[in-house]
Amino acid sequence: MKKDILLIAAGVMALAACQPKEAADKPVEKQQVAVQDGRFTPEVMWSLGVMSEYAVSPDGSQVLYALRYTDMEQNRNNTELYLMPAEGGEGQRLTTTAQSEFSPVWYDDNTLMFCRGNQIVSMDVKSRKESVVAEHERGFEGFKVAPDGQSLVYISTIPVVRPEHLDKLYAGLDKTTGRINEDLMYRHWDNWVDEIPQIFYAPLAGGKAQMDKVVNIIDSTFESPMRPWGGTEQYNYSPDSKTIAYTCRKKTGYDYAHSTNSDIYLYNIATGETRNLSEGIMGYDQNPVFSHDGTMIAWESMERDGYESDKLRLMVMDLATGAKRDLTEGFDYGVSGISWSKDDKELAAVVMYRGTLEVFAFGQDGSIRQVTKGMHDINSFQLNGDNIFASQVSIQYPATLYAYNLGEDKAEGRKLSTFNDDVLSQVRMGRTEPYWIKTVDGKEMLTWLIYPYDYDSTKTYPALLFCEGGPQNIVSQFWSTRWNFEVMSGAGYFVIAPNRRGCPGFGMEWLEQISGDYGGLCMQDYMSATDYFADNFKQIDRERIGACGASFGGYSIYWLAGHNHDVVPAYADNLLKGGYDGGRRFKAFLAHNGMFNFEQQYLETEEMWFDNWDLGGPYWDWNNPQVKKSYANSPHLFVDKWNTPICVIHSEFDFRIVASEGMAAYNAAQMRHIPSRYLYFPDETHWVLKPQNSLLWHRNFIDWFDQWLKK
C-alpha cells in the first residue's frame, strides 16, 4: 500500500492539496496560542508551524527553511521562507506573500532560488531583491542548479495525449466529462493520470533560464520522477555538470501497474545519449548521488520486482569500470536519503532501526557505524562538510532542525530551530515508554506505550490500540497530523502502538513474515500487545479498550472486528476467564480507508504488483495455496461475528483503496444492527489534508471513542 513514512513528499502533497486555485490576498500568519490546561488538542496541533524543506548555505553558515502555517477559518495554508544561523536560534523571515514558496536552493552564499506559483525566483539575501529566473505555464515542481551554475534542471508536467482513434470521439464535445480508457494506470493513488512529470534541462545566462533552449531529457511517455512520492531527490548533476543521473520506470499502462522495476539512467547533456546504469536489477532503483570526485555514483536499490518493501540496499558503482558493490550486504536493514562524506570514504544514510530512524555511516571499506541515537526519528538530513543538519521529529514534537557531526557515535543531537517552542512549552505531553513484549511464537516485539497527558497512577484510563498501515511500515517516533499520539493522549487515553510483524527496523525475517499472512501472526501480535497491557497495567481499564487504524490498519480493524468474540486464547491462561467486556477485547473500533473485501479490492486498486505480491495474485487463481490463504482472511467473510460499535471513515479520491470498501463495511454494520458511524470525505485522498476536514476527522475520532469508552 506504500508506506506513510515519506513525510517530505506527503508535506508537499499537503501543501498543494490545501491551496485554493486563487490564493488569498494575504499570507497566513502565525497564531498566538494559549493552551488550556496543558492539553494537546487537534486545534493546538494545527496551530503549529510545519517545516517542510530546508537548505544549508554552501559555506555552512546559514540554514534556510520553509515554514507553513494554517488559517483554519479560510481552510488554507501558506508557506514562507526563513533564514537562521547554522548555530541555531530564531529564524528571520525572508518572504511575505499570499503564494507559497517551495523547493529552496542556494545558488551561492548570498543568493537563493525557489519556486513560487509558475515561476522560479532568485533572491539576494542581503537586499531581499527578487528577480524572475524562469516562468512556465504548467509551473514547476522543483529544480536543481548545476554545480558550475550554468544551467538548471527542473520538474514540470506534460499532458497525456489521447490516442487518435479515441480523440475523434470527443469532436465537438468540449463540455463532456467522460473518460475513455483502454489500458491500466489511468489513475494513481489520488489523481487521474491526465499529466505526467518529466525532467527538463535549461541553460542559464545572466541570471535567467533560457527557456527557448529547454531540452526534455526524458522525451517520452515515461514519468520521471516517479509518482506519487518522487521529487528532486530522484535526479542529480555530476560534479562537472556534464551529465545528469535520474530515476525512471520506463513502463506505461499494464506493464507499469504490474512492476516496480525502475532504473538509474545517465544522461549526457552534450550528446543527448542515455545509459542505463542499473540494468538487470529488477526492483526499485532510485535517488542517485555522485561522489564529490565524480568517479562513483550511489543509489538506493531493491532486488526483487513487484515488492515495494524489499530491502533498500546501498549500491555504489565505479563509473569507469561499471563495477557495482552493495555496501549493505550482510546488514539486515534498508537505507534512504544517502549522502557522500566530503572525502568520499563514507556514505551517510537514514536507517529504520529498532523503532527509530537514525543516521548510519557506511564505509567504502565495508565498515558500518551508527552516528545518531535517541527517542526520535531523523526523517532527512543534509551534510555540509562533517556537519549534519537534520529534520527530526518525535512523538512529542513536529519537524525541528537538529545538528550532528558525521564523526559522532550514537549522538543525541543539538536542537537548532525554535519556531514552535512558544506553543509546545505550554503543553503537557504524555510520556512515551518502550516495551519489549513476548509474542505467541516467543519472539520480542517493541511496543510504544504513550500515557495520558494528565496521568495519575491512582486512576484508571481507557486505552487505544493503534494499528499501523503500510503494511510494511515502522511504528517509530513519528509525528503526524492524522495519527497523532499526543492528541490521543491529550484526549485522556493510553495509546498502545506495537511494531507487529511486517514493520521494518527489526530485520528482514520480521519484515517479510506478513506477506501472504495478513490474518496470521501480525494479528496475533496486536492481541499479544493488548493483552499484555490489559493484564499488567492496573491504570489501564481492561473494559475500556478501543482500536483504530488506517489503510492496512483499517483492514486490521475490520479483521479484529470479526475476531473480537474470544479473548482467552490458548497461550493466555493467565487472563480472566470470560474475557474483557462481555467476551470482547475491544469495546469500540475506528477504521480509516481500510480494505474490507479482498476480491473487490483486487479489481479496484491501481498498482497491481502490490496485491500480486502480498495476496499472491488474483482471487480466481484458486490452485495457488497463498491465494486461498490470503482471500480466506478477507474481513467481509467474518461480518457475522461482528459485535462491537464501529466508525468507518473513507475518502472519494483514495484510488489505492476505493471508497466503496468503506461504504460496504459501514453498510454491513448497519445491516447487522451494530452501532456504527460513517464519515465520508468527497474531496480527500488516502490521507486527510485539508485543514477543516482534518479538524472534523479528529473531533469525530475523539467523540466516537469518548462515546463508547468514557460513558
DSSP string for 676-710: EEEEEETT--SS--SHHHHHHHHHHHHHHHHHHH-
- Residue 551 annotated in active site: yes
Peptide bond into 498 cis (omega under 30): no
Nearest-angstrom CA–CA distance, 158 and 156: 7
Nearest-angstrom CA–CA distance, 624 and 626: 6
Say if strands 540-550 and 461-467 run parallel, antiparallel, or are unpaired.
Answer: parallel
> 259: closest CA among 300, 309, 216, 307?
307
- Residue 52 annotated in active site: no
| Buried/exposed 516-552: b ≥16 CB within 10 Å, e otherwise | bbbbebbbbbbbbbbbbbbeebebbbbebbbbbbbbb
DSSP assignment letter at 483: S
Q: Dihedral of CA 548/550/551/554: which sign? A: positive
Planar angle of CA 482, 591, 6, nearest 5 degrees: 40
Look at the chain and count its residues: 711
Nearest-angstrom CA–CA distance, 194 and 159: 6
- Residue 127 annotated in active site: no
Q: Which of 310, 686, 694, 698 is catalytic?
A: 686
Q: Classify 435 as helix, strand or coil.
A: strand
Q: Which of 190, 654, 676, 694 is catalytic?
A: 654
Q: Classify 650 as helix, strand or coil.
A: strand
Q: What are phi and psi of 363, to 5 degrees?
A: -85, 150
The percent of the chain in helix, strand and coil, each rounded to the nearest 5, is 20, 35, 50
CB hemisphere CA count around 705 (13 angstroms): 28
Contacts of 165 (CB under 8 A, 6+ apart): none
Locate 255 and state its grid cell: 506493464
Find the helix or strand (DSSP H, E) in which 489 lies. Answer: helix 485-490
Q: Dihedral of CA 566/570/572/577: which sign? A: positive
Nearest-angstrom CA–CA distance, 253 and 186: 7
Count of CB atoms situated within 10 Å of the CB of 219: 13
Provide the terminal-to-terminal Cα distance of the chain, rounded to the nearest Å. 36
Q: Which amino acid is at 656?
A: R
Q: Which of 47, 52, 551, 556 is catalytic?
A: 551
Nearest-angstrom CA–CA distance, 566 and 549: 21
Contacts of 170 (CB under 8 A, 6+ apart): 162, 176
Nearest-angstrom CA–CA distance, 510 and 354: 11
- Among the residues of 367-481, which ranges form H helices? 421-424
Locate 363 and state its grid cell: 564505509
> 101: closest CA among 130, 127, 126, 58?
130
Locate 625 and state its grid cell: 495455496
Do residues 549 and 608 lie in contact, with contact meaning Cβ atoms separated by under 8 Å?
A: no
Active site residues: 551, 654, 686
